[in-house]
Structure 1
């Protein structure tokens, strides 16, 4: 699939496959993990809409196999995937969008081989942010050789649920709740989570959680890069999720455009843009 690179100059044609395998995802000094996330959205800002049963789902008019390929490539780069416990409850109910990447699909076998050539584990480990521990842990995660780390505020730990998850092979890690009085009660201090992961040797963390988790990552200055696929279609709807959900940020988070690609035709429908935005450097971020 051919794309047109619009930025940085010069404008030129390039291929979609492999686009995100070479893009830099590291800090100059490797002291702290590099944290990145990715979303697909409509032109009018919808990342999820409510279905007839009242559940959020990615609009079918927005999701597409080309964006899905790049989603998998970003996962192939990761040491760990960051996700919320809600995903596992949805998975148990049969409502999850898909299995965690890299998908066990012949179409992505090249990405699994790529990880081997890079000296990476067969699959990225899984880091779960929870405030209940009330979810089942899929056996397939451990069968795939993934480590599962579950972070929760100490004050919210249920010994029974902790022991159940530990017996399944997960590691439950209690942390202090966020000290910010404006935060949600019991909300994890995401800076602690990232710091703990860095101490364990993780260098690339890919957040595949939703708009509320993105809010927390931005509010605390731990998100380094945001990838956005924007499908050039307007879908409307009154009940939807936008790219970022949560209270107004105390201060706007500045991002810089790092790259932009255009795909003119997506399976006979509207085209799309693939953009990368890097967080603007600041003294506070450098010392986090």
Structure 2
């Protein structure tokens, strides 16, 4: 792979290689068990859409051209640095229905085989642990984690259905209570995972988890790809939904790259942000 991108910030513009760009961030070394490093990534359009929603069925879909091969490569590099991947019940339901691909393992794609070796070379287990956040606890468990020897934990809130908690525990899964209501809350979840030795936590979730991590002051870094296209659509998802965040949503730009090889020649930005220092 010989893809390049133009670094626009910080410093003077400079062409840099795309492969390895996010591996160089060494995210797996940044967290501690008492303060795990929590990071998320999103792809959005210029008009702020991360997905479109069918008004009739409520099902979401990624529009063609929003995600590129270069963006996916950087996603895989972020995935490779995680002690655990945090997903949610909705993803597992979509995975079971065939609406989404399985991205719960590292190095499964032919073009990314070296990322599995990178984990071993950098002292990480062959595959990350998986954390499933769910209020309802109503989701199918995929068989891929068991095939690849991955540790699986389930996180829910204190008022989740007791019979479903008992059923998952009887099936051999560790169920964490990480929230005072039905939903998982960012602060308690990070504390629970840190106490179990997990230091780099990658959010493969949606707006709700990003929101609670920001409100609880637990998000360490946000990676954002902006595709240079407008999607429109009357029903859509954006990165956040719900009450106004206020100062919890103020982030500072750390890096900005321009990828000129995006689909249709329109380009895309790769950026990452961090919360303002206290």
TM-score, normalised with respect to structure 1:
0.88
SS of structure 2 residue aligned to 1:70: helix
Is the CA contact 1:123–1:144 (under 8 Å) kept in the aligned structure 2? Answer: yes
5 Å-filtered alignment, 1:6-155, equals 6-25=8-27, 26-27=29-30, 31-51=34-54, 53-102=57-106, 104-155=108-159
Which residues of structure 1 form unaligned runs of 5+?
Answer: 178-184, 283-288
Deviation at 1:89, TM superposition (A): 1.4
SS of structure 2 residue aligned to 1:35: strand
SS of structure 2 residue aligned to 1:156: coil
Is the CA contact 2:22–2:78 (under 8 Å) kept in the aligned structure 1? Answer: yes
- Cα distance 1:92–1:167, how it changes in 2: closer, same or farther (>3 A)? farther
Deviations along 1:125-172, one digit per CA (max 9) or x if unpaired, are 11111112111111211221111111112321433x334433544211
Corresponding residue for residue 180 of structure 1: none
Counting matched residue pairs gives 274
For the residues of structure 1 that align with 2:256 and 2:45, how far apart are their CA atoms?
16
For the residues of structure 2 that align with 1:28 and 1:152, how far apart are their CA atoms?
23
Deviation at 1:87, TM superposition (A): 1.1
- Cα distance 1:96–1:165, how it changes in 2: closer, same or farther (>3 A)? farther
Query: CA RMSD, aligned part only?
Result: 1.9
Corresponding residue for residue 221 of structure 1: 217
Deviation at 1:240, TM superposition (A): 0.7
Deviation at 1:28, TM superposition (A): 7.8
Is the CA contact 1:72–1:101 (under 8 Å) kept in the aligned structure 2? Answer: no
Corresponding residue for residue 227 of structure 2: 231
- Cα distance 1:168–1:30, how it changes in 2: closer, same or farther (>3 A)? closer
1:261 aligns with 2:257: yes
For the residues of structure 1 that align with 2:172 and 2:240, how far apart are their CA atoms?
33
For the residues of structure 2 that align with 1:27 and 1:119, how far apart are their CA atoms?
14
Is the CA contact 2:52–2:235 (under 8 Å) kept in the aligned structure 1? Answer: yes
Deviation at 1:212, TM superposition (A): 1.7
Q: In terms of mean alpha carbon deviation, does 51-60 or 24-33 score higher?
A: 24-33
- Cα distance 1:44–1:101, how it changes in 2: closer, same or farther (>3 A)? farther
